[in-house]
């Protein structure tokens, strides 16, 4: 069955870099786009960016300068890296599978707190 699971640090200091891994099973990353979405108290659900089945990426302009998405297909993993973190980046970060532009499977999410 399809499963997605995010892993990452619970606490990150301001100005530091956030790294989250999404490990998937039950499908191939070379067949689906993968999305990153976050949910913050201030802005609710926000689309962050995605990686295509072919490996190219696109980002929300709100994050473009500090966000990077990559993957390792041999390990069935997708990675999110975001630098220059601020307290407003506190929230839950999700990876999701893209099925013709709607998101049909989501990970459980990882809570990230940005604080010194």
**Which residues form the interface with another protein (CB under 8 A)?**
35, 44-47, 58, 60, 94, 96, 99-104, 106-109
Paired residues of 34 in beta bridges: 51, 97
- Write the CA distances from 28 to 39, 68, 76, 100, 101, integer angstroms: 26, 21, 7, 15, 17
Eight-class DSSP state of 103: E
CA dist 45 and 88 (Å) reads 13
Q: Closest separation between CB of residue 19 and another protein, Å?
A: 20
Q: Closest separation between CB of residue 50 and another protein, Å?
A: 9
Closer Cβ to another protein, 27 or 106, answer by number:
106
Question: Is 90 within 8 Å of 115 (Cβ atoms)?
Answer: yes
Closer Cβ to another protein, 16 or 103, answer by number:
103
Q: Closest separation between CB of residue 105 and another protein, Å?
A: 8
Q: Closest separation between CB of residue 13 and another protein, Å?
A: 26
Closer Cβ to another protein, 16 or 92, answer by number:
92
């Amino acid at each position: 069955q399809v499963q997605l699971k995010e892993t990452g640090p619970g606490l990150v200091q301001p100005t530091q870099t956030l790294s989250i891994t999404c490990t998937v099973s039950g499908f191939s990353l070379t067949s689906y786009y993968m999305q990153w979405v976050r949910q913050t108290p201030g802005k609710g659900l926000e689309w962050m960016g995605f990686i295509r089945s072919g490996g190219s990426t696109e980002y929300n302009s709100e994050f473009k300068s500090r966000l990077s998405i990559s993957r390792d297909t041999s390990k069935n993993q997708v990675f999110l890296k975001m630098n220059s973190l601020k307290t407003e980046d506190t929230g839950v970060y999700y990876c999701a599978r893209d099925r013709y532009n709607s998101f049909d499977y989501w990970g459980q999410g990882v809570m990230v707190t940005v604080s010194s």
